[in-house]
């Protein structure tokens, strides 16, 4: 069958470009094996010289024609012979396949055990290491090849590729494969231990044309544009957008607005390393905010069929396990904040801010609520129960509630004694601690949304607490009230299910659904919660 030789030309943007039609007799098999049916495409940057482009082109043609020859040989039932280049290309495909099969499979100990099996085979008849290339006896070579065949899962890979080798070609492949098997087991051992440094060994193996042709399946989005599209479809909370927008501005600058389909695992690791070097965020923050944001948005892009793989999958900063028990306020810091709430405030200060400073810390201290859940509190959310105790409804229609689940807590008697109910009665309908009418009327930017007023207020309270001298970086100036509440409640012997109900936590067990406490249970429990030794005049 005559196959026309493709020619190298220039695309409109100057890139080097070529096409090769897949012969009809192998088209079905070629699509099954390589994901392409009609034609393969070659494309390289215009920055290459003519000599460089022709060299790359010649290698690409050899790869594609080698595939076609292999498929025809398989159809004829014969064994395929490989050139040196084709052999290395085959090993490269096996290497990627093996990593994909086992990246999440085994522990460090399991990879040590598998390496030990290969080492035992090599040392069976002498004191060699698995990487030695000294001359071995035929019997020794056969033993090592058998172990490489087993550990590499080569028969499975070859079956999936639709390839068949004669015994001589298989022996040659196994001999060449041994150092690559050692390298890939070492790579997977490192990743099992949390080390995601770039894979230097993979760079020594050729990549197929489908992997190296950058325009084959471009996503059409830079990282910032992908974030923009994700926001438009998913419509996340404003707090998430505001926290993640800086991530994608930084990533977009780092890769120079490159198409997301061209961002490699090496690029992702280099970006992670740059974040560490800049020192603007610690390892935990990089993991929980920066890498989480990139991974989630890129997974969404992948779900839109614009990416074949997410370069941020599995990437993380290795950080030591935290042994800190901090998180709650010390008794001294808690008393400092609560005493400050009772001090006279300047008459010129906004009345809503005065009220927030006076009551929000106490509300958080006695309910275990998130600060934002209290700064968004409304008059209608405070209600008297028929049994005579006061309740606070934390509702999703007032603002953001973690997990988007409303709940009700019972007010501590110390809050009532201080006059909180009187304050609520004197307040107008709507939010207790901010005035919605004073909100800016400026049109919102979906990629830089205005923070809700209750979020701005929460930040002002946090800044105020820092000004009071509560400066421990391991203790949040607002959120620490939740830790403090849960630990004080635990010391008071209040059941965990009751502590969880106040804070809106889930125990994670099916049985907890049937043990959900009633509002009367919470009313009884809060009686045992110890008062803070701070009294209003």
Determine what percent of the chain is predicted with pLDDT higher than 90.
35
- Cβ contacts of 320-328, under 8 Å, gap ≥ 24: 322/284, 324/474, 326/472, 326/474, 326/475, 327/474, 327/475, 327/476, 327/480, 327/483, 328/475, 328/480, 328/483, 328/484, 328/487
- What is the chain's alpha carbon radius of gyration, rounded to the nearest angstrom? 32
**Other Cβ atoms closer than 10 A to 407:** 19
Taking phi first (over 0 means left), then psi (-120 to 50 degrees means alpha), and beta for anything else, what does residue 368 get?
Answer: left
Nearest 5°: CA angle at 40, between 45 and 68?
Answer: 130
Closest CA to 366 of 529, 164, 510, 514: 529
pTM of the entire predicted model:
0.52
Closest CA to 484 of 363, 330, 338, 323: 330
Residue 223 has pLDDT above 50, yes or no: yes
Instruction: Give mean pLDDT, residues 450-479.
Output: 88
Torsion of CA 512, 518, 520, 525, to 10 degrees: 20
Alpha-carbon gap, residue 310 to 300, rounded angstroms? 10
Instruction: Give mean pLDDT, residues 260-277.
Output: 89
Q: Indicate the CATH number for domain 331-438+448-526.
A: 1.10.443.10
At residue 442 the predicted structure's pLDDT band, cuts being 50, 70 and 90, is low
Q: What per-residue confidence (pLDDT) applies to 181?
A: 92
* Per-residue tokens: 515: 């043990």
Q: What per-residue confidence (pLDDT) applies to 210?
A: 43
Q: What per-residue confidence (pLDDT) applies to 292?
A: 94
* Per-residue tokens: 158: 């070859």
Residue 417 has pLDDT above 70, yes or no: yes
pLDDT in tens, 39-81: 888 888 777 788 778 877 877 777 777 777 766 766 665 555 6
Instruction: Give mean pLDDT, residues 77-95.
Output: 73
Instruction: Give mean pLDDT, residues 325-345.
Output: 89
pLDDT in tens, 164-201: 777 777 888 888 889 999 999 999 888 888 888 888 88
Instruction: Give mean pLDDT, residues 130-146.
Output: 71
DSSP letters spanning 221-288: --HHHHHHHHHHHH---HHHHHHHHHHHHHHHHHTTT--GGG--HHHHHHHHHHHHHHTSS-HHHIII
Of the listed ranges 29-33, 86-90, 335-339, 359-363, the one predicted with least confidence: 29-33
Residue 215 has pLDDT above 70, yes or no: no
Q: What per-residue confidence (pLDDT) applies to 216?
A: 37
Q: What per-residue confidence (pLDDT) applies to 1?
A: 42
At residue 528 the predicted structure's pLDDT band, cuts being 50, 70 and 90, is very high
Alpha-carbon gap, residue 383 to 411, rounded angstroms? 10
Residue 329 has pLDDT above 70, yes or no: yes
Alpha-carbon gap, residue 118 to 127, rounded angstroms? 13
Alpha-carbon gap, residue 123 to 175, rounded angstroms? 16
b/e sequence 376-393, b meaning 16+ C-beta within 10 Å: bbbbebbeeeeeebbbbe
Q: What per-residue confidence (pLDDT) applies to 511?
A: 47
Q: Which residues pair with 39 in a beta bridge?
A: 21
Q: What per-residue confidence (pLDDT) applies to 323?
A: 46
b/e sequence 453-465, b meaning 16+ C-beta within 10 Å: bbbebbeebbebb
Q: State the chain's mean pLDDT as an integer.
A: 83
Of the listed ranges 304-308, 349-353, 465-469, the one predicted with least confidence: 304-308
Residue 328 has pLDDT above 80, yes or no: yes
Alpha-carbon gap, residue 487 to 484, rounded angstroms? 5
Greater model confidence, 255 or 384: 384
At residue 214 the predicted structure's pLDDT band, cuts being 50, 70 and 90, is very low
Instruction: List, in sequence order, the alpha helices (H) in 368-479.
Output: 371-375, 413-418, 420-426, 453-467
Closest CA to 376 of 388, 390, 364: 364
Greater model confidence, 153 or 298: 298
Q: What per-residue confidence (pLDDT) applies to 466?
A: 93
Q: What per-residue confidence (pLDDT) applies to 441?
A: 64
């Amino acid at each position: 069958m005559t196959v026309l030789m493709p020619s190298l030309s220039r695309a409109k943007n100057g890139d080097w470009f070529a096409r090769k039609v897949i012969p009809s007799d192998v088209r079905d098999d070629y699509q099954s094996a390589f994901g392409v049916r009609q034609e393969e495409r070659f494309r390289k940057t215009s920055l290459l010289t003519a000599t460089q482009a022709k060299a790359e082109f010649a290698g690409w043609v050899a790869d594609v024609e080698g595939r076609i020859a292999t498929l025809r040989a398989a159809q004829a039932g014969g064994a395929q012979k490989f050139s040196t280049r084709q052999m290395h290309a085959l090993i490269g495909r096996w290497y990627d396949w093996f990593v994909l099969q086992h990246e999440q499979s085994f522990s460090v100990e399991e990879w040590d055990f598998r390496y030990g099996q290969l080492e035992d085979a090599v040392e069976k008849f002498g004191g060699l290491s698995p990487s030695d290339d000294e001359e071995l006896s035929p019997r020794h070579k056969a033993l090592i090849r058998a172990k490489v065949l087993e550990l590499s899962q080569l028969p499975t890979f070859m079956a999936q590729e639709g390839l068949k080798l004669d015994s001589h070609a298989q022996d040659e492949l196994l001999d060449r494969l041994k150092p690559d098997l050692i390298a890939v087991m070492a790579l997977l051992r490192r990743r099992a231990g949390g080390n995601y440094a770039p894979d230097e060994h993979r760079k020594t193996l050729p990549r197929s044309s489908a992997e190296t042709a950058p325009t084959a399946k471009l996503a059409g989005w830079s990282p910032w544009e992908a974030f923009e599209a994700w926001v438009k479809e998913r419509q996340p909370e404003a707090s998430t957008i505001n926290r993640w927008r800086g991530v994608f501005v930084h990533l977009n600058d780092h890769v120079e607005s490159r198409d997301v389909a061209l961002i490699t695992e090496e690029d992702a690791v280099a970006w992670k390393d740059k974040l560490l070097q800049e020192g603007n965020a610690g390892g935990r923050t990089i993991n929980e905010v920066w890498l989480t944001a990139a991974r989630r948005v890129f997974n969404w892009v992948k779900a839109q069929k614009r990416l074949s793989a997410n370069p941020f999958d599995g990437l993380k900063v290795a950080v030591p396990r935290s042994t800190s028990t901090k998180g709650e306020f010390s008794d001294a810091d808690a008393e400092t904040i609560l005493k400050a709430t009772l001090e006279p405030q300047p008459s010129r200060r906004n009345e809503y801010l005065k009220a927030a400073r006076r009551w929000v810390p106490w509300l958080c201290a006695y309910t275990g609520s998130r600060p934002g859940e209290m700064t968004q509190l409304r008059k209608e959310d405070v209600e008297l129960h028929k049994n005579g105790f006061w309740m606070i409804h934390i509702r999703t229609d007032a603002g953001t509630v973690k997990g988007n689940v409303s709940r009700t807590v019972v007010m501590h008697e110390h809050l009532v004694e201080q006059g909180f109910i009187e304050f609520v009665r004197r307040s107008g309908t709507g939010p207790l601690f901010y005035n919605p009418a004073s909100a800016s009327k400026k049109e919102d930017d979906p990629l830089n949304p205005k923070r809700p007023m209750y979020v701005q207020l929460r930040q002002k309270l946090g800044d105020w607490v820092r000004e009071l001298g509560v400066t421990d970086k391991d203790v949040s100036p607002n959120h620490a009230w939740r830790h403090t509440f849960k630990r004080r409640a635990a010391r008071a012997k209040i059941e965990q299910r009751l502590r969880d109900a106040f804070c809106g936590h889930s125990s994670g067990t099916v049985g907890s659904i049937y043990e959900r406490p009633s509002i009367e249970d919470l009313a009884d429990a809060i009686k045992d919660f110890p008062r803070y030794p701070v009294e209003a005049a």
